[in-house]
Amino acid sequence: MTDLWTHSPVRVGPRRAAAVAACAGALTLIAGCGGGSGSAAPLTPRTAITLAADKTQRVNSMSSNITVNVSGIVSATSTGSIQVQLKPKLLADEDLSIVSQGQTIAMTDIVSANAVYLKSAAFSALTGPAGKTWLEIPLSDLSGSAGSALSSLLQNVQNGDPLTQTRMLAASKDVRKVGPAVIDGVRTTHYAGTFTPKAAVAKLPASLRKQVAPLLTLIKGDIRFDAWIDASHQVRKIAEVETVSGETVKLTMTITSINQPVHVALPAPRHVLVAPTNILGGGGGSNDPGTS
């Protein structure tokens, strides 16, 4: 089987770490967006972000369109849609089209607090002979800091603190108002700035620092962000640019619905093959398919 990112047997290496971190980044961006209504009075940039963070306390589910671009030694672009259930427990479902080195492949992934499930023709060499359609990668099997970071971050989202991302944006010392912008027909105000991973950790309560810090250690240099917030303090679009394991990761997410019904379910165990640990870079994994 060929790895989409490296054109080598599937493994978790630096470039996959970038992709994993991008996935985790996507979940934190989701966690940092909220809905509701409120005053349209003029706000300072810092106040605007704080009010958006307050709204996140009411988020149970959301849908969005997402683009992730990873560039460096090997480039890849993923575009698609994502549905996320944050409460009562984390479940996320992504439908993606991935373009890498002239190849395009469709992929569906489902993320729980314990595992990632992948469905794609790229994995048919493993799943096909076994009569399965889904490949399960337990988060505990992801080697190195990327795996532990994603596992911790997903657990943090599951534990119901959707303020994490917006709190990190508040670490910016240069956040500024760019101006008005219309996102999907909605009038918003565009804000932009940068922050350092170290400053972001300092903005988090002690109970979260241990969980989020491993992810941030993968990021080198400043994180650049843009956020588009409407008059009711709802984030309509958010984007980040960061360097992860030597790769430049650009993530853009446009929120399409908040607290509307989403339908995310884990694959039936009979359709799931647990990924052999020898293709994951080591680690001991579950031998019981679909037990996340």
| Residue 55 falls inside a structural domain | yes
Q: Residue 147's domain is classified under what CATH number?
A: 2.50.20.20
| Residue 4 falls inside a structural domain | no
Q: Give SS3 for 198.
A: helix
How sure is the predictor about 137, in pLDDT bands with cuts at 50, 70 and 90?
Answer: confident
Which range among 39-43, 121-125, 150-154 shows the weakest confidence by mean pLDDT?
Answer: 150-154
CB 249 within 8 A of CB 21: yes
In which domain, by residue range, is 66 found? 14-277
| Residue 243 falls inside a structural domain | yes
The per-residue pLDDT for range 13-41, each reduced to its tens digit, is: 444 444 544 554 554 454 444 444 444 45
Residue 95 to residue 112: CA distance in whole angstroms: 15
| Residue 2 falls inside a structural domain | no
Residue 48 to residue 44: CA distance in whole angstroms: 6
Residue 123 to residue 136: CA distance in whole angstroms: 11
| Residue 7 falls inside a structural domain | no
Which range among 25-29, 93-97, 178-182, 213-217 shows the weakest confidence by mean pLDDT?
Answer: 25-29
Token representation of residue 165: 């991302």
pLDDT for 192: 95
Please state the pTM of the whole predicted model.
0.72
| Residue 225 falls inside a structural domain | yes
Cα distances (angstroms) measured from residue 65 to each of 10, 71, 96, 248: 27, 20, 10, 20
Closest CA relative to residue 31, chosen from 64, 8, 72, 67: 64
How sure is the predictor about 270, in pLDDT bands with cuts at 50, 70 and 90?
Answer: very high
pLDDT value at 283 more than 50: no
How sure is the predictor about 12, in pLDDT bands with cuts at 50, 70 and 90?
Answer: very low
pLDDT value at 10 more than 60: no
| Residue 35 falls inside a structural domain | yes
The per-residue pLDDT for range 66-108, each reduced to its tens digit, is: 888 888 777 888 899 988 887 777 788 889 898 888 889 898 9
pLDDT value at 152 more than 90: no
How sure is the predictor about 169, in pLDDT bands with cuts at 50, 70 and 90?
Answer: confident
- Mean per-residue pLDDT over the chain, rounded: 74
| Residue 254 falls inside a structural domain | yes
How sure is the predictor about 267, in pLDDT bands with cuts at 50, 70 and 90?
Answer: very high
- Structurally, how many domains does the chain consist of? 1
Integer Rg of the chain from CA: 19
Residue 58 to residue 52: CA distance in whole angstroms: 11
Count other C-beta atoms under 10 Å from residue 176's C-beta. Answer: 11
Token representation of residue 107: 């992929």
- Which is higher by pLDDT, 199 or 134? 134
How sure is the predictor about 240, in pLDDT bands with cuts at 50, 70 and 90?
Answer: confident
How sure is the predictor about 249, in pLDDT bands with cuts at 50, 70 and 90?
Answer: confident
Positive or negative, the CA dihedral 147, 151, 157, 163 is negative
Strand arrangement, sheet containing 134-138: 176-183, 186-195, 219-230, 235-244, 247-258, 61-71, 76-85, 91-100, 103-111, 115-119, 134-138, 272-274
pLDDT for 207: 63
Q: 57 Cβ partners below 8 Å, 6+ apart?
A: 34, 162, 163
